[in-house]
Amino acid sequence: MDRELLKMEHITKIYPNGVIANKDVNLTVKEGEIHALMGENGAGKSTLMKILFGDEEKTEGTIYYQGKELKAAGSADAIRLGIGMVHQHFMLVNSLRVYENVILGMEPKKGALIDREKAIELVRETAKKYNLNVDPMAVVGDISVGLKQKVEILKVLLRGAKLLILDEPTAVLTPQETQELFEQLLLLKESGHTIIFISHKIREVMQICDNITVLRGGRTVGTMPVKNATEEEISKFMVGRDVILKVQKEKPSFGELLLEVKDLNYTTREGRKALDHVSFRLRKGQILGVAGVEGNGQNELAEAIFGFYKNASGAVIYKGENILGKSIREIRDLGISYVPEDRIKTGVAENVPIWGNLVSDIIDDGRLRTRRFLDYKKIHRMTETLIRDFAILCKDDGHLAGMLSGGNMQKVVIAREFSSDPQLLIANQPTRGIDVGANEFIWKKIVEQRDAGKGIILISADLNEVMELSDSILVMCEGHVAAYFEDSSQVDEYELGKYMLGLKRQEAEA
């Protein structure tokens, strides 16, 4: 168990645009352990793992794997040696079935044709062996993120991986899905696999990892055993100071009515009733937390308010006016902001420079113009302030947003949406994939917005986040409002859980 499986020594990585992502990094992983790789957004975690997997070339340094120098020329080599990686952003083909995705590039053949029966059987068997419950015939575009994750893991296992690299696998999972994943990872560990696990969540790391290596600013801070370490010690190790994830906030003082959602209904194209007679009110100066197991209508609620759907019924009354049926543009112009859940799909334009992403929502109005023309000096003054205020790690705001680390992309979206001075802010999973330091900062910003009299709808799968921030809490279950608590301190996590799981439901208000 104590044999070294992997040793990365003095790894330096300079990207072609001059960004130094890793500086003299060292990482040693023992066979059969679960090793956590932690560190702030942009610390260089994904880069280091891409180097190991052969996706990126190192600028300097040496890698030893199973005692021999690893000179992988690309990921095909790494896979052949038993190294597998599940990326931070999934790489599945949505239009294909699960089994087709899993065997992509290694299809069993019957003559010149793909042996479909054999492929399905192979996927089914491997899934069973590792207790990964997925239907090989399901179309990937239709399954939940939790299941997609399993498909990615299955893909890696089927290629014979002994060392699995999981880049923030839990960032997109619900607490329940996370626990399920952990059981599977422990099972893999028992069967002799080694796992490198990237996460920002200290509690998760404490639950399943043996050792932690921390990176900060591209350098190694060190490695420590998890056993006997406290949460405070680990967080200090990570950010170099104590971060206590708690919010300092005064009692709320609710102002006048800002938003009233009345009997909102929405049925998806597939015929699923995603919103089922949803009604609630939001006042100025109020943070309304929306709790729920993912996929119970929270996303649809946000999107319906923000003008995504043409066929929603009911009313969304904002400052006295029904905005249901208005376009996203019109809704934005009324002073509503939205931080979407999926920052890659709807949050950032990867091929647009960082500055463009930061101001894209206000590029058409007068603020950035001098006599009708875009004033680039003004724009850069503004983007520089945002980059500083939100601690977005980038060398130059002219770089493409796609080159940012996952967490820094999220910060770009948050900075843009918070800075447009909205009256109503809808924040959907605002701290997903965000490091503890930045998490604390975003929580503070949300409370600041509230204290400035804004209304906030906070959607989060992280119950701790909902409990910490919200003044009032609404629980969604299967598209309907299962419970509402005007005063969030009147309810605890355990009680919320019952409503989330549909074990309990408040009587509808008369």
Residue nearest to ligand ATP (CB): 407
Give the count of alpha carbons within 13 A of 258, CB side only: 24
For residues 385 and 379, give the distance between their C-alpha atoms in angstroms, rounded to a whole number: 10
Helix crossing, 406-419 with 436-451: angle to 10°?
Answer: 10
| Cα Rg, the chain, nearest whole Å | 24
Q: Considering only the stretches 61-69, 293-301, 394-402, 406-414, report the one whose residues sit in contact with Mg ion under the rule CB under 5 A.
A: 406-414
State in angstroms the smallest separation of the CB of 406 from Mg ion.
4
Q: Cα 146 to the chain's mean position, in Å?
A: 12
Residue 285 in contact with Mg ion, rule: CB under 5 A: no
Query: Going residue by residue from 85 to 104, which x/- string records binding to Mg ion, judged by CB under 5 A?
Result: ---x----------------
For residues 154 and 148, give the distance between their C-alpha atoms in angstroms, rounded to a whole number: 10
Q: Which does 275 bind (CB under 5 to 8 A by kind): ligand ATP, Mg ion, none?
A: none
Residue 52 contacts residue 6 (beta carbons within 8 Å): yes
Query: CA geometry: angle at 387 spanning 215 and 327, to 5°?
Result: 120
List the one residue out of 454, 476, 43, 448 whose CA is nearest residue 254.
454
Our CB check for ligand ATP shows the closer of 15 and 64 to be 15
Residue 169 in contact with Mg ion, rule: CB under 5 A: no
Q: Which does 47 bind (CB under 5 to 8 A by kind): Mg ion, ligand ATP, none?
A: ligand ATP
State in angstroms the smallest separation of the CB of 432 from Mg ion.
12
Count the residues in the chain. Answer: 510
Our CB check for ligand ATP shows the closer of 17 and 179 to be 17
Amino acid at 105: G
Our CB check for ligand ATP shows the closer of 88 and 357 to be 88
Beta-bridge mates of residue 425? 337, 456
Our CB check for Mg ion shows the closer of 405 and 419 to be 405
Query: Roughly how many angstroms between the first and final C-alpha of the chain, as a whole number?
Result: 63
Count residues near Mg ion (CB under 5 A): 4
Our CB check for ligand ATP shows the closer of 45 and 454 to be 45
State in angstroms the smallest separation of the CB of 46 from Mg ion.
3
Residue 408 in contact with Mg ion, rule: CB under 5 A: no
Q: Which does 42 bind (CB under 5 to 8 A by kind): ligand ATP, Mg ion, none?
A: ligand ATP
Separation in Å, CA 258 to CA 287, 322, 359, 445, 458: 12, 12, 26, 20, 15
Our CB check for ligand ATP shows the closer of 264 and 394 to be 394
Our CB check for Mg ion shows the closer of 152 and 471 to be 152
Residue 433 in contact with Mg ion, rule: CB under 5 A: no
Q: What is the DSSP track for 320-380?
A: TEE-TT--HHHHHHTTEEEE-S-IIIII--TTSBHHHHHHTTTTTSGGGEETTEE-HHHHH
Strand 211-216 with 34-39, pairing: parallel
Q: Which does 19 bind (CB under 5 to 8 A by kind): Mg ion, ligand ATP, none?
A: ligand ATP
For residues 163 and 165, give the distance between their C-alpha atoms in angstroms, rounded to a whole number: 7
Residue 406 in contact with Mg ion, rule: CB under 5 A: yes
Our CB check for ligand ATP shows the closer of 142 and 384 to be 384
Our CB check for ligand ATP shows the closer of 19 and 456 to be 19
Applying CB under 6 A, the residues found at the interface with ligand ATP are: 15, 17, 19, 21, 39, 41-47, 88, 393-394, 403-408
Helix (H) or strand (E) holding 481: strand 480-485
State in angstroms the smallest separation of the CB of 253 from ligand ATP.
36
Our CB check for ligand ATP shows the closer of 31 and 342 to be 342
Q: Considering only the stretches 40-48, 218-226, 242-250, 374-382, report the one whose residues sit in contact with Mg ion under the rule CB under 5 A.
A: 40-48
State in angstroms the smallest separation of the CB of 166 from ligand ATP.
13
For residues 387 and 396, give the distance between their C-alpha atoms in angstroms, rounded to a whole number: 10
Judged by DSSP in three states, 249 sits in coil
Residue 220 in contact with Mg ion, rule: CB under 5 A: no
Q: Considering only the stretches 258-266, 402-410, 418-426, 495-503, report the one whose residues sit in contact with Mg ion under the rule CB under 5 A.
A: 402-410
List the one residue out of 50, 135, 37, 42 whose CA is nearest residue 407.
42
Binding residues for Mg ion (CB under 5 A) = 46, 88, 405-406
